[in-house]
Amino acid sequence: MSILRRMTSVTQDLEREIQANGDSSYNSWTDIQPTEDGFTIELSFPNVQKSDIDIQISDDRVLTIQAENETHAQKISRSIYIPEEADINAISATFENELLTISLPRIKHVPRTMKKVHVQ
């Protein structure tokens, strides 16, 4: 299974769980897209302020986004598996017009060099 498909599958499972157990009047969506340099995750958070968003990443590479919707007095949480090729030390996020955008750059691989070993 591709990394993007696995990330999307985990996100869709969480969306179904939230819809089944949460307030259906709170409409939020998640979109994961591959980019040339990595991945972009976009999440809509209506009626949420930037100060009400908390983003953390665990040692097992699960990105957890939590926010509190002030209008509905509801907390919402999303957890997304981060692929091995994403550089977790370079993740960045912006929040503008109720849209949270998280950028996950790919790890920059250092090209391998060959060294000649002389036999004596």
Query: For residue 98, what is the domain's CATH number?
Result: 2.60.40.790
Give the pLDDT confidence of 6-65 residue by residue, as tens digits: 555 555 554 554 444 444 444 556 778 888 899 899 988 888 899 999 999 999 999 999
Residue 1 pLDDT > 70, yes or no?
no
| Residue-level pLDDT at 68 | 86
Q: What is the pLDDT of residue 29?
A: 65
State the Cα–Cα distance between residues 62 and 90, nearest whole angstrom: 15
pLDDT score recorded for residue 53: 93
40, part of any domain: yes
Of 28, 5, 11, 9, nearest to 79 by C-alpha is: 11
SS3 40: strand
Candidates 22, 20, 62, 68; CA nearest to 41 is 62
pLDDT for 116 equals 86
Total number of domains in the chain: 1
Give pTM, 2 decimals. 0.66
CA gap 64, 42 in Å, rounded: 13
